[in-house]
Structure 1
Amino acid sequence: MATKEQEISRTRDLEGLSSEWLLEAYLTMFTSRRVDDREISLKRQNKTFFQVSGAGHEAVQVAMAAHLKSGHDWFYGYYRDRALALAVGQTPLDHLLGAVGASTDPNSAGRQMPSHFTDPGLHLATMSSPTGTQFLQAVGAAEAGYRAMLIPELRATMEDFEEDEVVLVCSGEGATSEGEFWEALNTACNLKLPVVFLIEDNGYAISVPVEVNTAGGSISKLVSGFPDLFIVECDGTDLTDSHRAAGKAVRHCRMRRGPALVHAHTVRLHSHSLSDDAKAYRAAAEREEELARDPLPQARALLIDRGVVTPEELDGLEEDVENEVEAAANEAGNHPQPEPETVLLHLYSEEVDPTSKSFDTEDSPEFESELPLTTVDLLNLCLGDELERDHRIVLFGQDIADASREQVLEEAKGKGGVFKVTHGLQRRFGGHRVFNSPLAEANIVGRAIGMAQRGLRPVVEIQFFDYIWPAFMQIRDELATIRFRSHGQFSAPVVIRVPYGGYLTGGGPFHSQTGETLFTHTPGLRVVLPSNASDANGLLRTAIRCDDPVIFLEHKH
């Protein structure tokens, strides 16, 4: 059973919290709120096209950031995490440039909606709008470090790897109903990965209340059966209680005891976004109760009551913040919009051209054989050559290992995929580089994305094209857009191998599908379908060595 600390402590124990940190935390919260307010004003003036607020979530975000290190740990946030992004190093100008869609927006160069915070130097992974997709990517990012600890040659290639690194992934309670949340928890617990799941529970997924969204109304109770998952619940509007909970969760992960989940009870002080009206589905009394739990007045009173600062001093500091935010908004409004001709920039890698002569390779010595070699033979040879050449490559998917229980290989011949493409590769390169995944296609692709963002080169397999659809959002909305939406700051060169097409005797309608057009119409994705065995060998080699995501279709005949 999970280790749990389910009681909500509302004590104001300041032990270990310096006056300097308390003041800094409050000013970060206040800055976040004022940037929200400024964006709301800009939206009403039609100077931005959207606004989503983090008001009510600030305390737990700032408290969590206090235990993590930017540029050391990794952050997979979501659109309400403004205070977190500010706490780890972003500025009001960074956010307001994103709000107005400026070409100088450091998050996406004006390509994304506001509040999609991105900064590779701070290890703020590029955000997207689909809720819940970040869970598996965060697990993949943590797994990259896990694999680095097991594979010395891989570790030597990862400049940003830290032995005590932690990955933080955040969401509201609504996204915990996505299946990928449960897939992520499953893998994180199975591998005891250092992932902190911060669930910012404000009670509503747009208009859906938590008791409709979550069985029993409590996500922390619902996940309590996961092994090695440390669970702590806190008042996410209380700065000190949030600091206590966050510290325990991060320490658990730094000590490599497994993942942790912080269930923070927050409030949503505005509607879901300015495109929503909470008055349509929330009672006035409920909204008034939430206003009474606003974390900013609580933190302000704490500072004054404890003598950290006088009301007059705090008034002056708040005025400084107001002036900074106003100046940032004015400056952002003067920045240019993206030029139309830049729309295709960073759709694919500008540095690596897979059609160039640099991709010409000599045949492997094993290519010459007295017997005719099949497509399976040549794909297997290619994968072996590439695993030998590049220690960043890992292979995983359902049934692709020879045997997960390696001791049986003393007497068993090994599986190596349902079509034997990966047969013998685990024996040759070890179970840390060639391994099985759960039967979960989104899990396979989502983890691969997180690994690739850390510098690994995952080559994964979806067992049949017919079963690729659970991974479709990870492929189309995530994998294909990462380079574009981050304006080239992040990339994910993942190769997805997929047996494809009909003519499998007895295969029926669910082992015979095509459907490549859905992927060829996806900008940012390369799709390869070799016509013969020799081409399959060379094209797979090119797919692995290029710097873009590739769907590699392997016809069964």
Structure 2
Amino acid sequence: MARQSGSSVQESKKTTASVAESSLTREQLVEFYRLMYLSRRTDDREIVLKRQQKIFFQISCAGHEALLVAAGMALKPGYDWFFPYYRDRAICLTLGNTVEEQLLQAVGAADDIASGGRQMPSHWSSRKLNIVSPSSSTATQCLHAVGCAEAGRFFTKHPEAAKEHDGDYREFKDVKFHGDEVVYVSIGEGSTSQGEFWESLNSASNGKLPVLYVVEDNGYAISTPVEVNTPGGNISKLVANFPNFHFAEIDGTDPIASYQAMVEAVAYCRSGKGPALVHGHVIRPYSHSLSDDERLYRSVEELDADAARDPISRMQMWLLREGILDADGINKLERQVDEEVQRAADRAVMATLPTVASITKHVYSEHLSSQDARFATEPMPTADATERTMADLINCCLKDEMRRDERVVVFGEDVADATRDGALRAGKIKGKGGVFKLTAGLQTEFGSDRCWNSPLAEANITGRAIGMAVRGMKPVVEIQFFDYIWPAMHQMRNELSLMRWRSNGDFSCPLVMRVPIGGYLTGGSIYHSQSGESIFTHTPGVRVVMPSNALDAIGLLRTAIRCDDPVLFLEHKRLYRETFGRAAYPGPEYCIPFGKAKIVRPGKDLTVLTYGAVVPRALQAAQKLHRDKGVDVELIDLRSLTPYDWEAIAESVKKTNRVIVAHEDMLSWGYGAELAARIGDELFHDLDAPVRRVAAMDTFVAYQPLLEDAILPQPEDLYRAMAELAAF
């Protein structure tokens, strides 16, 4: 484990290295200072614009410039990959961002290359430079960086997977890989408290991945000092025992020390030895943001001590002392930078603003909609007409798609046949292949590069998959139980759903999350019976589907894998091996477009809208009601929850004039409330009775079967509601 001494944090009291020791030419040193000063003056200009009310938010890179210019000069734009955070103005300028591009984001201009006016300033993004769109969330990007590094390694080992395929469904075709690229990710010292940071270290260390972590330690997370966030006040001491890492702790206000540390760290990563972490002690001469006043919580003495370590002043004095520039040269350079920034600001404030019509652009793929007609195919007859379960056909689909497209990988908790696969290869063990056996045989057939077990960490699974999908892979990940999806919620809501929209279409992460869901298990209890699909259908940017039978499961899953949007694929556990809904294998091209409901039972007296495990229960109730009272129920399986088939709903309601919305999740604030509201709003004049809902009690699912049966909607509950509404 390589390591650099932390003693250099006292560098502010010493003499900076000489030109000969720096390994930088005189021209490079001048450019180093120019970029640092350019970053600072861009911050200053934004502050002026904010006070003039020409921009709406400002957060600076001030005090971090030396560390970040050093990182940018040690790395390769458009070759390496970058997952920055909001302090990273200086590295982005070093990589090739222009001041005007950065100020266009501050203005929120239509021509803002980072987001088209959608993100706050300092959310850097550039497809050309491989700077991947970040969010305001802290530490989430660390997992994306790990996934991106994994993708680079995957394409290096499987170069054929990066080639454009005939009939390729996907938009992302320009897969970039070189074999030795480094993935940069930066984070503030306060954000190292986040779990995603530690989860990413685990995976980067285990995989010896070429990830360069840069911790920009300015001592404060807004007003909270480092010793409150970090035990002992020093993150380097806490991470020191991670294997396979190169560590360096340095004075990040010293340009030369920063550059030398970055060069060493990049070389270590590029050599394939593993990840690196450079912990740079920097300063924050300005408040956290322009909305903050650090004088409320920092003393004058502390601020003065920071000012004495200002990297701009230190670099300027060093250039003068070493004879690289004289006072006239410094003044000339700074005057040129000031003029450059002023010109950029003048152009930015005059830039065209986005139109209201642009708001909905890039929420979903505009290249390939999941509702596209190419996904409407018919089952093909095969030699084997054996009816199979939903579990069987999901497994068939995964194998089909992994054979078709080498970019498809499957990972999650326990999805592999056996991580220690020697006994598996020797035929001594059968292998696991998931707690429900839906991924059985994938690792055996496709190898551990394409099917593997993840750590027991749902955010890790989702965040890494996002990074892989950004690079052009197609991860199909499994969250073992819906009940444990919540650690991944942050990644799903703030990252997965937003990547395309917030980058104005420059980046996307079309992955599939397979999730077993639901109750009716007899003993599933609180933590193996949850529903909650409405929380995710409330999130734009993600498609949500939930099949009720084997044929729909294989058709919808194939569409999920081939379409260009992220998909939450909900699989009801009770239906995996039910007799209801079994089907013959429909062939390797069978797809079902999203947003197309299925009429399970035609009828004329009453419409029932449902999905998942309630479908067979509603069918049972409808058949009994017809036998008992002659009421003819039209039962519609929505299958796709977002998008959903409004046309089919409206047509049925106009025919029957009565409607029940039924689902397994609890009644209040559930998915059915939205459908009921829209039906009442748009189809009021077609209704002969109030819209009725049937759902679970507003509580959790209990262990004792007697209680579970009372909590979840049963066929008799549906029967009673249908009979009452038909008689209204």
TM-score range, shorter chain: over 0.9
Query: For residue 525 of structure 1, what is the aligned residue in structure 2?
Result: 542
Amino acid at match of 1:23: V
**Is 2:533 the partner of 1:516?**
yes
Task: Please list the CA deviations of residues 30-78 of structure 1 after superposition, one character each: whole Å capped at 9, or x if unmatched.
Answer: 1100110011011111111110011000001001111100000001000
Q: CA deviation at 1:412?
A: 1.1
SS of the residue 1:198 aligns to: strand
Deviations 1:76-131 (A, max 9, x none): 00000000000000000001000011111111000000010100110001011001
| Deviation by residue 1:199-221 (Cα, 9 ceiling, x = unmatched) | 00000001111111101111011
* 1:496-552 CA distance string (max 9 Å, x none): 000000022321100000000010010111001112111010000000000000000
Distance 1:126 1:54 in 2: 17
CA distance in 2, matches of 1:442, 1:20: 45
Displacement after TM superposition at 1:151 (Å): 2.7
1:411 to partner: Cα distance: 1.1
Partner letter of residue 8 of structure 1? S
* Cα deviation, residue 159, structure 1: 3.6
Letter in 1 for 2:300: A
Alignment of 1:443-454 (within 5 A): 443-454=460-471
Aligned partner (choices 13, 38, 44) of residue 31 of structure 1:
38
Match of 1:310 among 322, 326, 342: 326
Check conservation: 1:151, 1:432, Cα contact below 8 A: no
Q: In the alignment, which residue of structure 1 is the partner of 2:374? A: 358
Residue in 2 aligned with 1:325?
Answer: 341
- Aligned pair 1:128/2:128, yes or no? no
Q: Contact 2:41 / 2:338 at 8 angstroms: preserved in 1?
A: yes
Deviation at 1:148, TM superposition (A): 2.0
CA contact (8 A) 1:168 1:197 kept: yes
Q: CA deviation at 1:150?
A: 3.0
**Alpha-carbon distance in structure 2 between the residues aligned to 1:198 and 1:417:** 36
Structure 1 range deviating more: 319-328 or 355-364: 355-364
Q: What is the deviation of 1:364? A: 6.5
In the other structure, the counterpart of 1:375 is: 390
Q: Which of the pair has more CA radius of gyration?
A: 2
Contact 2:476 2:511 (8 Å CA) reproduced: yes
- 1:21-420 to structure 2, matched below 5 A, reads 21-156=28-163, 159-361=175-377, 363=379, 368-370=384-386, 372-409=387-424, 410-420=427-437
Query: What TM-score comes out, normalization by structure 1 length?
Result: 0.98
| Unmatched runs of 5 consecutive residues or more in structure 1 | none
Instruction: Please report how far the alpha carbon of residue 368 of structure 1 lies from its aligned counterpart in structure 2 after TM superposition.
Output: 3.9
Deviation digits for residues 351-396 of structure 1 (CA, Å, limit 9, x no counterpart): 10222221234547769433x2100001000001000001111000
Which amino acid counterpart does residue 73 of structure 1 have in structure 2?
A: D
Deviates more, 1:498-507 or 1:83-92: 498-507
Please tell me the residue identity of whatever aligns with 2:17. Answer: R
* Alpha-carbon distance in 1 for matches of 2:444, 2:380: 20
Conserved in 2, the CA contact under 8 Å of 1:499 and 1:553? yes
Match of 1:538 in 2: 555
SS in 2 for 1:97: helix
> What secondary structure sits across from 2:74 in the alignment?
coil
Alignment match, 1:495: 512
8 A contact 1:445–1:474 mirrored in 2: yes
Amino acid of the structure 2 residue aligned with 1:150: K
Q: Which deviations, in whole Å up to 9, do the C-alpha atoms of 1:241-295 show, x marking residues without a partner?
A: 1011111111110111110000000000111101111111111100111011110
Q: State whether residues 367 and 378 of structure 1, in contact with CA within 8 Å, keep that contact through their aligned partners in structure 2.
A: no
Q: What is the alpha-carbon distance in structure 2 between the residues aligned to residue 505 and residue 483 of structure 1?
A: 41
1 CA distance for matches of 2:378 and 2:428?
A: 36
Tell me the secondary structure at the aligned position of residue 506 of structure 2.
coil
Describe the SS at the equivalent of 2:264: helix
How many equivalent pairs are there? Answer: 555
Q: Distance in 2 between matches of 1:556 and 1:392?
A: 27
SS in 2 for 1:301: helix
- Indicate conservation of the 8 Å contact 2:187/2:216, yes or no: yes
SS in 2 for 1:446: helix
Structure 2 regions of 5+ residues with no counterpart?
165-173, 575-728
Cα contact 2:175–2:472 (8 A) shared by 1: no
Query: Offset of 1:458 from its aligned partner?
Result: 0.4
CA distance in 2 between counterparts of 1:280 and 1:186 reads: 38
Question: What percentage of aligned pairs have identical amino acids?
Answer: 55
TM score, norm. by length of structure 2: 0.75
Paired with 2:516 and 2:29, the residues of 1 have a C-alpha distance of 56
Paired AA for residue 106 in structure 2: A
* AA aligned opposite 2:551: S
Aligned-partner residue type, residue 490 of structure 1: F
Maintained 8 Å contact 1:346/1:487 = yes
Residue-by-residue CA offset, 1:288-317 (whole Å, 9 max, x unaligned): 110111100111111111111111022011
Distance 1:523 1:419 in 2: 30
Inter-CA distance 59–366: structure 2 relative to 1 (3 Å threshold) = farther
